[in-house]
A and B are shown apart, each in its own frame.
Chain A
Amino acid sequence: MPILDDKTKTEVTKILGTMIKPVTLKLFTQPFECGYCKDTHELLEEIVELNPLLKLEVVQFDQDTDVVAEFGIDKIPAIAVIGDRDYGIRFYGIPAGYEFSSLLSAVLMVSTGVHKLTDQAKKFLDNLAKPVHLQVFVTPTCPYCPPAVIMAHQMAFYSDKVKADMVEVSEFPHIGNKYSVQGVPRTVVNEKWFMEGAAPEQMLIDKIKESL
């Protein structure tokens, strides 16, 4: 049974039609002790079939420890969306439900170079002196979550200083507990600063400023 139905595939094909540069989806997986690794793998295999500019690379989490370390992956399934280089865009957990849009948005952004950050945001990111790590906690049924994920990924795309993760919290409940996630989306900035909801760009910038 394919993961994506034909109708969704047609839609994805159309969306990916606007790709310009090649994109690699690096999947970190392992054959055991990983609830959604197999499904995520199948999902990505089906997606890369739909456009020749899209490629899948599979990294064995338990074996290819050098690559795992290089990409800073600490849980699986994980997807790194790579273009000309690694922008620090990560998905932890299967990007299903509403997060499917977040995945395709990240692919298109990396491929076309188009993002929606405002001039103020760019200016702020240009002057970042310290690294910023954004973790956006989501559930697949949360309609308010993709905007928060996409915003974080845009910042990672634009700035070398920013890394941004989507974390599907129901697959990583212990991490949810660690950051006391009780509602989604919740963005964790540099481990200790929190933001609830899909807040506007300026609010995230203010949070980042606070954390530095």
Chain B
Amino acid sequence: MFDFNLSMPTNADPNTLYDLIIIGGGPAGLTAGLYAARYKLKTLMLEKAVISGGQLTATEWVENYPGFPEPILGQKLAKDMESQAKQFGLEIINESVIDVDLAGSIKKIVTDYSTWQAKSVLIATGSASRKLGVPGEKENAGRGVSYCATCDGPFYPDKIVAVIGGGNSAFEESIFLAKYASKVVIIHRSDDYRADKIIQDKVMANPKIELMPGYAVQSIEFANSDDKHLVLVEQGTGAEISFPADGVFIFIGHVPNTKLFEEKIELEAGYIVTDRRHFTNVEGVWAAGDVEAKSLRQVATAVGDGACAAFWINKYIEDWTEN
């Protein structure tokens, strides 16, 4: 009945020279950690959250990760990925990386508490929710504006919620929200939805979910708790309407977590440029998962990236010499 999600840091020593430091403990980092630990590389993972799993922990059901014919809870998959990697000896420290020195043969990774050193680095910092950037969004974050349905869905029993977006996340999380809310309305700029057909069908079949194509959010007006609404603009005519909603969940894609690497690593629209070995343009530095410039950002691709990167990192460590 109860679930207990345990994730506690290990006691790593900052004086160790690691073979590999993995920045970020989402699916990509955890898979690379699993492989690296099995290659017997001395590996440390730095994850800023208390819990590994990255975006998986903010996802309700994952239906398209192979091997699980029944949908699996994102939080469960995350926990299992972590315990599997730890079983093989991956060390995880819950610290946030705030600076990196990647230039020399020994890389220095600075967190808010220590400086860690390694022969190679894998960047698996993934991505964060993209903001709409409209008035009222920032002011009401956590007060009606949310980016995490599994976190905040239960606050809307029998309420009306708006979901912004047209992709898989918007559609899937709407189904979760419909468990609580009386009505979920998916608002999207056009009627061209990117969500997989199978999820679209499920949404259509859900009597609590409505689609409202052709509208863009102009502002979020939640200041007056008796009159919470969104101002929407009809695409084409430009007509403004007021749309009453108790909460709004925003799923309009992601921005890569690459601020740390600007001007240190080659980026493309913010994403890290890699080759087929997941090698970046900096010697001894790899990237895997959502943070990479690539076409499909999913759990299945993230784990593949992580495994492949670990394979090439292992080869690199075999030939590594200090200079």
Contacts and interface: CB of A to CB of B under 8 A. Distances in A.
A118 interface: yes
Contact of A183 (B4, B113, B151): B151
Name the prevailing secondary structure of the B interface residues.
loop
Nearest to A98: B5
Contacts of B11: 18
Interface string A181-201: 111101000000000110000
Nearest to B247: A182
B144 interface: yes
Interface range for B: 20 to 34
B57 interface: yes
Contacts, number: 98
Contacts of B247: 182
Interface string B142-154: 1111101011101
Contacts of B57: 143
A184 B6 contact: no
B5 A196 contact: no
B68 interface: no
Contact of A143 (B1, B2, B151): B151
A147 B143 contact: no
B151 A8 contact: no
Most chain A beta-carbon neighbours within 10 Å: one of B1, B50, B141, B152: B50
B49 A147 contact: yes
A196 B6 contact: no
Contacts of B51: 98, 101, 143, 146
B2 A150 contact: no
Contact of A141 (B4, B49, B146, B150): B150
A176 B142 CA distance: 13
Contacts of A182: 142-144, 152, 155, 247
Interface in B104-158: 112-113, 141-146, 148, 150-152, 154-155
Nearest to B156: A182
Contacts of A18: 11
A212 interface: no
A97 B146 contact: no
A100 B148 CA distance: 20
A12 B6 contact: yes
Interface in A1-25: 3-4, 8, 11-12, 15, 18
Contact of B50 (A39, A150, A186): A150
The 9 closest A-B pairs by CB, nearest first: A196-B142, A143-B57, A183-B142, A146-B50, A142-B151, A100-B4, A96-B2, A183-B152, A98-B5
14 contacts: A18-B11, A39-B2, A96-B3, A96-B4, A97-B5, A98-B5, A98-B50, A139-B154, A142-B148, A143-B58, A144-B58, A176-B155, A181-B155, A183-B144
Given A140-B2, A147-B50, 6 more contacts: A3-B2, A94-B2, A100-B5, A182-B247, A183-B141, A183-B144
